[in-house]
């Protein structure tokens, strides 16, 4: 079972299979895939390169457009982005774009291709706070432009949610390491175990650096008042972090209740099953018609044998791990007793020590400039809370910082 | 990022890269050629310009495709002739192209029906600013027998028309050969003697591509009839490569510069033509199916290949394979290579067993209990058909042995094929 958690669950394409999939691509005129990738990874171009036997060229396209190409290939909910408008759907089903991208980036890694080259240094220093998708992307893009970039990361290792959140079977830390290695190679310095606001203040950074990019991300799990102080309750992000940190060497009880229906919840329930929990029950606020998690992750959870109950909202708790639910639309009640309760009801930014004001979880400024020499990106920026959106906002903030600092 | 210089000098003219549109529907007007240049093509052979008196009148429809299983376009049939626009319009397009794209190469393709035509056309396209000329001796679907492939299969006419063109221009020019001939070297030699500076090959192969089984008419159907006309695309690449090799190894032609044409779609196809001696490459069918954009991966893929090969000049790859194509009687016939089966890769389909029995030497044996094949070396002749039909690449060339009674040699030193897999 442990092996199941530790091994990447989606098999890699063989050269033949990737060609078969690339050959399904209609190479269409306006390529909805390329126009709907938030990160601008340009699937139409890299699929065409595979089709015309130029996998190295495909690797260049992915890498130049998306510094986290190997990560996005694995975790992106492609059904919502590039695959959503795929012309091939008019025949049968969309091209498996993520899997093709995974083949390409694996090929790049196998050959140790060194695609990126940073411009000559311009002597200007930029600090990036946080090393999640947005922070890494912003840092890498700025380094490519010639800036001297330092990332401040509160954890012992870089990667943010990529390292501590997404389970190993979907995103091995080895892949995260490799992507970070590429960014470090561009000259980015990463200062670990340093929390801005505690170990160093934002004011100090603002003085020391020509610009500061806040990319702190939603690292804290949300608590619901009725579960406050309940010893049976853990938060999803904390659970996932512990499991990934210990490479799956975590004991889980046999009967676990999970509350939540996003991709994080799917990661939790699937992980629990892989770690040996016999009965995993997931109660979801949304009904299946409104479901938030991506189809792929939902299918993964169902395949593992998770019981998913949709449309129920928790109303009260009782001693001994009992939770009562009510259906949102029909007259129905539910009572579940579990040995462990995992709350996967969303995350928030950990900003208590930083002078930043959020409204509905996002910075109140428009664009990505907070004022003075401070910029922001990632979850606290405007938009969706996905890895690919982090990459998008990271690219955008790098451009904004470059424009602010004179573009040279 | 790989960055290699793809520029190469062909017939004295420097091309930014060797990739050109061939004379065909893909280079029919200014806008098309301009888009091709913008997409990255190094040169354009503008669609063949004919004499003023020759009226072009096309049929509809005029194309058809040969398919195989899931492949929509193995080969392609074309009945279109030469440029249908008026001579003046074509010349104006040439002038405009040269003016707006001075760093790209502009090749004018011409076709006359007599010496006077050839000389006049050569003079006109020279005046219009072409960098070089291609003589179309090879279109197989002309409505006049004084033009097209009937000329290219007649060395005397090739010689005469090349001389006429030489009188009309100082520009370098090449003669485009027809594959509808036993030995292409004869018209090629005649063309060079007549003053041509290079040879391009191949034009399309005379063909009937499909027959409609209900109507009992060849395709495409033009009011109940069809005609023999030119076949092109991936399927003709092997035929083109053979003619290129034969010209390169013919004493009289060995130093003649060649432009390769026939089924080029990928950088790999291009590299094959280069390794067999071509300094220039022309493409049509791939563009008709996929668009000018295919040049991006041709250029980039070729740059990566140069990087892998450790060469900085494309020129250094030209003709490297010619010496490795030798007459059949000179091949080493002393050894056998047995297939090596990778049981982990094998999915147990048994296709190797079927093909070995029905198409080879009944050496591949099937084991029902585990659904896996083994090779009986007593029967195996080492043809390796099994490796070609295997759908997962589980069979590759393995152990080599000398045939009984042959002189011992160091089998390990021999250069052998390493895979049968086709991707």
Domain extents in chain B? 8-324, 332-413
The answer to whether residues B236 and B75 touch, using CB atoms and an 8 Å cutoff, is yes
pLDDT number for residue B414: 85
Q: Which residues of A, range 292-321, sit inside 8 Å of B by Cβ? A: none
Residue A1, domain member (yes or no): no
Identify which of B301, B391, B423 has the shortest CB distance to residue A15. B423
Specify if A238 maps to a domain: yes
Together in a domain, A274 and A261: yes
Q: Whole-angstrom Cα distance, residue A6 to residue A118?
A: 34
Domain boundaries B332-413, corresponding CATH code: 3.30.70.20
Question: Is A64 an interface residue toward B (CB < 8 Å)?
Answer: yes
Q: Is the pLDDT of residue B190 over 60?
A: yes
Shared domain for A38 and A94, answered yes or no, is: yes
Residues 6+ apart with CB under 8 A from A136: A67, A68, A151, A158, A159, A160, A179, A180, A183, A394
Q: Are A48 and A100 in contact (CB under 8 A)?
A: no
The position carrying tokens 């034969």 is: B246
B77-100 tens-digit pLDDT: 999 999 999 999 999 999 999 999
Tell me which chain A residues have a C-beta less than 8 angstroms from the C-beta of B265: 52
User: Which domain-ending residue is among A64, A83, A110?
Assistant: A110
> Radius of gyration (Cα) for chain A, nearest Å?
22
Number of structural domains, chain A? 3
Nearest CB to A52 within list B265, B391, B392:
B265
- A379 and A343 housed in the same domain: no
Select from A11, A13, A50, A56 the residue whose CB has the most chain B CBs within 10 Å, as the one to mutate to test that interface.
A56
Best of A20, A57, A104 to mutate (most B CBs within 10 Å, chain B): A57
CA torsion sign for B67, B69, B72, B73 is negative
Contact A54 B300 (CB under 8 A): yes
Backbone φ/ψ region at B372: left (φ over 0), alpha (ψ -120 to 50), beta? beta
Pick the CATH number of B8-324 from 3.90.600.10, 2.40.110.20, 1.10.10.10, 3.20.20.70: 3.20.20.70
| Burial tier of B359 (Cβ tally within 10 Å: 0-12, 13-18, 19+) | exposed
Task: Report residue B423's pLDDT band, with 50, 70 and 90 as the boundaries.
Answer: confident
State the pairing for strand pair B278-283/A347-348.
Answer: unpaired
Per-residue pLDDT, A1: 67
Q: Which of A14, A49, A117 sits opposite B1 (nearest CB)?
A: A117
CA B138 vs. chain centroid, Å, equals 14
Per-residue tens of pLDDT for chain A, all 408 residues? 688 899 998 999 999 999 999 999 999 999 999 999 999 999 999 999 999 999 999 999 999 999 999 999 999 999 999 999 999 999 999 999 999 999 999 999 999 999 999 999 999 999 999 999 999 999 999 999 999 999 999 999 999 999 999 999 999 999 999 999 999 999 999 999 999 999 999 999 999 999 999 999 999 999 999 999 999 999 999 999 999 999 999 999 999 999 999 999 999 999 999 999 999 999 999 999 999 899 899 999 999 999 999 999 999 999 999 999 999 999 999 999 999 999 999 999 988 888 888 999 999 988 999 999 999 999 999 999 999 999 999 999 999 999 999 865
**CA B234 vs CA A63, B73, B204, B239: distances in Å:** 31, 8, 12, 10
**With left for phi above 0 and alpha for psi between -120 and 50, is residue B328 left, alpha or beta?**
alpha
Predicted model pTM: 0.95
3-state secondary structure chain A: CHHHHHCCCCCCCCHHHHHHHHHHCCCCCCCHHHHCCCCCCCHHHHHHHHHCCCHHHHHHHHHHHCCCHHHHHHHCCHHHCCCCCCHHHHCCCCCCHHHHHHHHHHHHHHCCCCCCCCCCCCCCEEEEECCCHHHHHHHHHHHHCCCEEEEECCCCCCCCHHHHCCCCCCCCHHHHHHHHHHHHHCCCEEECCCCECCCECHHHHHHHCCEEEECCCCCEECCCHHHCCCCCEEEHHHHHHHHHHCCCCCCCCCEEEEECCCHHHHHHHHHHHHCCCCEEEEEECCCHHHCCCCHHHHHHHHHCCCEEEECEEEEEEECCCEEEEEECCCCCEEEEECCEEEECCCEECCCCCCCCCEECCEECCCCCEEECCEEECHHHCCCCCCHHHHHHHHHHHHHHHHHHCCCC
CA distance A172 to chain B (A): 25
Is the CB of A119 inside 8 Å of chain B's CB atoms?
no
Nearest to A52 among B70, B266, B392 (CB): B266
Q: How far apart are CA A41 and CA A52, in angstroms?
A: 18
Here the tokens at position B235 are 């399927």
Query: Would you state the pLDDT for residue A223?
Result: 96
What is the domain-level CATH number for residue A172? 3.50.50.60
> Per the CB < 8 Å rule, is A64 touching B1?
yes
Average pLDDT over residues B390-398: 95
Contact yes or no for B1 and A115 at CB 8 A: yes
Contact B290 A16 (CB under 8 A): no
- Residues of B in Cβ contact (< 8 Å) with A49: 296-297, 300-301
Catalytic residue among B139, B346, B356, B380: B139
- Nearest by CB to residue B423, choosing from A19, A49, A116, is A19
- To which residue do tokens 């197989």 refer? B140
Q: Under DSSP, is residue B343 helix (H, G, I), strand (E, B) or coil?
A: coil
CA–CA min distance A359, chain B (Å): 42
Q: Is residue A119 part of a domain?
A: no
Q: What is the pLDDT of residues B285-317, one digit of tens each?
A: 999 999 999 999 999 999 999 999 999 999 999
Test mutation, A18, A50, A52, A64, chain B, max B CBs within 10 A: A52
The candidate with the shortest Cα–Cα distance to B414, out of B389, B395, B397, is B397
The answer on A343 and A353 residing in a single domain is no
Please check whether residues A37 and A181 belong to one and the same domain.
Answer: no
Gap between the Cα atoms of B114 and B105, Å rounded: 28
- Report the side by side order of strands in the sheet with A322-327: A312-318, A322-327, A333-337
Instruction: Tell whether A16 lies on the interface with B, counting CB pairs under 8 A.
Output: yes
- Closest-CA distance, B344 to chain A, in angstroms, reads 14
Q: What pLDDT shows up at residue A408?
A: 52
Q: Does A56 touch chain B (CB under 8 A)?
A: yes
Shortest distance between the Cα of B230 and any Cα of chain A, in A, equals 25
- The SS3 call for residue A137 is helix
Name the packing angle between helices B267-275 and B237-248 (round to 10°): 20
Q: Are residues A21 and A67 in the same domain?
A: yes
Do A232 and A335 have their domain in common? yes
CA–CA separation, B92 and B128 (whole Å): 7
Residue of A nearest to B302 (CA): A54
CA gap A239, A271 in Å, rounded: 10
Nearest by CB: B301 against A23, A27, A53: A53
Burial class of residue B70 (count of CB atoms within 10 Å of its CB; 0-12, 13-18, 19+): exposed
Tell me how many residue pairs between chain A and chain B have CB atoms under 8 A apart. Answer: 52
Q: Is position A117 within any domain?
A: no
**Quick one: pLDDT at residue B1?**
86
> What interhelical angle do A43-51 and A55-65 show, nearest 10?
170
Q: Cβ(B1)–Cβ(A56) under 8 Å?
A: no
DSSP H helices, B62-184, are: 87-100, 115-127, 149-152, 155-168
**A47, closest residue in chain B (CA to CA):** B297
Same domain for A181 and A146, yes or no, is: yes
What is the C-alpha separation between A254 and A278, in angstroms, rounded? 5
pLDDT at B413 over 90: no
Q: Which residues contact A30 (CB under 8 A, 6 or more apart)?
A: none
Give residue for tokens 């354009």.
B44
Give rounded-to-5 percent helix, strand, coil for chain A: 40, 20, 45
Q: How far apart are CA B19 and CA B294, in angstroms?
A: 11
Q: Choose one of A299, A316, A347: the last residue of a domain.
A: A347
Classify B318 as helix, strand or coil: coil
Chain A's closest residue to B1, CA to CA, is A115
Cα separation, A397 vs A376, in Å, equals 7
Q: For B310-342, what is each residue's pLDDT tens digit?
A: 999 999 999 999 999 999 999 999 999 999 999
Q: Chain A residue with minimal CA distance to B393?
A: A16
Q: Are residues A282 and A356 in the same domain?
A: no
- Segment B210-228 shows an average pLDDT of 97
Residue count of chain A, please give it: 408
Asked if A282 and A355 sit in the same domain, the reply is no
Q: Which domain holds residue A193?
A: 125-219+349-404
Backbone angles phi, psi at A152, to 5 degrees: -105, 125
Q: How far is A41 from chain B (nearest CA, A)?
A: 16
Residue B60 class from Cβ within 10 Å (0-12 exposed, 13-18 middle, 19+ buried)? exposed
Residue A146 Cα, gap to closest chain B Cα (Å): 17
Q: Looking at the domain assignment, is residue A214 inside a domain?
A: yes
In three-state secondary structure terms, B403 is coil
- Picking from A102, A110, A78, the residue whose alpha carbon sits closest to that of residue A22 is A102
Active site residue B139: yes
């Amino acid at each position: 079972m442990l092996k199941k958690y530790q091994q990447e669950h989606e098999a890699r394409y063989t050269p033949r299979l990737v060609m078969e999939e690339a050959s399904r691509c209609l190479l269409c005129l306006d390529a909805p895939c390329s126009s709907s990738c938030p990160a601008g990874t340009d699937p139409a171009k890299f699929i065409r390169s595979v089709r015309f036997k130029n996998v190295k060229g495909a690797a260049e396209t992915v890498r130049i457009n998306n510094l986290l190409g190997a990560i996005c290939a694995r975790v992106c909910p492609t059904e919502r982005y590039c695959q959503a408008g795929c012309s091939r759907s008019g025949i049968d089903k969309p091209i498996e774009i993520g899997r093709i991208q995974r083949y390409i980036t694996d090929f790049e890694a196998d050959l140790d291709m060194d695609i990126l080259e940073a411009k000559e240094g311009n002597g200007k220093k930029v600090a990036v706070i946080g090393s999640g998708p947005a922070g890494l992307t912003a840092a890498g893009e700025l380094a490519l432009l010639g800036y001297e970039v330092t990332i401040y990361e509160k954890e012992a290792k870089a990667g943010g949610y990529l390292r501590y959140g997404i389970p190993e079977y979907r995103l091995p830390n080895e892949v995260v390491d490799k992507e970070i290695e590429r960014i470090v190679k561009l000259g980015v310095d990463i200062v670990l175990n340093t929390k801005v606001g505690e170990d160093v203040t934002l004011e100090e950074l603002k003085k020391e650096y020509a610009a500061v990019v806040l990319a702190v991300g939603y690292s804290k799990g949300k608590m619901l008042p009725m579960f406050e102080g309940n010893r049976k309750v853990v938060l999803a992000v904390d659970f996932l972090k512990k499991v990934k940190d210990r490479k799956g060497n975590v004991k889980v009880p046999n009967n676990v209740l999970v509350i939540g229906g996003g991709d994080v919840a799917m990661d939790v329930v699937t992980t629990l099953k892989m770690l040996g929990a016999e009965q995993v029950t997931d109660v979801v606020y949304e009904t299946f018609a409104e479901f938030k998690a991506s189809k792929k992750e939902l299918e993964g959870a169902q395949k593992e044998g998770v019981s998913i109950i949709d449309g129920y909202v928790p109303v009260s708790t009782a001693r001994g791990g009992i939770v009562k639910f009510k259906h949102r639309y029909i007259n129905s009640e539910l009572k579940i007793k579990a040995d462990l309760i995992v709350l996967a009801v969303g995350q928030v930014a950990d900003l208590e020590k930083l002078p930043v004001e959020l409204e509905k979880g996002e910075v109140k400024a428009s664009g990505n400039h907070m004022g003075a020499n401070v910029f922001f990106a990632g979850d606290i920026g405007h938009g969706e809370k996905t890895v690919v959106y982090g990459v998008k906002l990271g690219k955008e903030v790098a451009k904004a910082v470059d424009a602010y600092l004179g573009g040279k | 990022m790989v960055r290699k210089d793809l520029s190469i000098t062909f017939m004295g003219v420097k091309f930014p890269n060797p990739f050109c549109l061939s004379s065909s529907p893909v280079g029919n007007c200014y806008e098309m050629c301009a888009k091709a240049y913008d997409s990255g093509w190094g040169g354009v052979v503008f669609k063949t310009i004919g004499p003023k008196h020759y009226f072009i009148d096309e049929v509809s429809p005029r194309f058809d495709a040969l398919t195989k299983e899931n492949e929509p376009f193995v080969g392609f049939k074309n009945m279109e002739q030469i440029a249908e626009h008026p001579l003046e319009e074509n010349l104006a397009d040439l002038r405009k192209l040269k003016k707006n794209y001075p760093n790209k190469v502009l090749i004018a393709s011409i076709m006359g029906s007599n010496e006077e035509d050839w000389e006049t056309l050569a003079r006109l396209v020279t005046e219009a600013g072409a960098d070089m000329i291609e003589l179309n001796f090879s279109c197989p679907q002309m409505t006049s027998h004084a033009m097209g492939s009937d000329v290219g299969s007649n060395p005397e006419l090739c010689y005469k028309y090349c001389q006429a063109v030489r009188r009309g221009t100082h520009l370098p020019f090449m003669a485009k050969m027809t594959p509808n001939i036993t030995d292409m070297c004869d018209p090629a030699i005649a063309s060079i003697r007549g003053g041509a500076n290079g040879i391009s090959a191949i034009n399309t192969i005379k063909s009937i591509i499909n027959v409609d089984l209900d109507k009992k008419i060849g395709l495409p159907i033009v009011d109940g009839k069809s005609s023999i006309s030119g076949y092109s695309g991936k399927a003709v690449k092997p035929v083109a490569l053979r003619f290129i090799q034969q010209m390169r190894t013919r004493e009289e032609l060995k130093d003649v510069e060649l432009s390769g044409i026939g089924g080029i779609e990928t950088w790999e196809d291009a590299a094959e033509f280069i390794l067999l001696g071509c300094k220039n490459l022309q493409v049509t069918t791939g563009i008709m199916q996929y668009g000018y954009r295919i040049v991006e991966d041709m250029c980039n893929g070729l740059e990566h290949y140069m990087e892998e090969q450790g060469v900085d000049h494309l020129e250094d790859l030209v003709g490297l394979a010619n010496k490795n194509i030798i007459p059949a009687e000179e091949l080493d016939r002393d050894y056998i290579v047995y297939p090596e089966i990778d049981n982990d890769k094998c999915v147990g389909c048994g296709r190797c067993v079927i093909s070995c029995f029905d198409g080879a030497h009944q050496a591949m044996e099937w084991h029902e209990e585990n659904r896996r094949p083994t090779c009986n070396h007593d029967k195996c002749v080492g043809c390796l058909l099994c490796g070609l039909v295997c759908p997962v690449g589980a069979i590759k060339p393995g152990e080599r042995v000398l045939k009984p009674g042959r002189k011992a040699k160091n089998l390990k030193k021999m250069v052998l094929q390493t895979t049968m897999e086709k991707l």
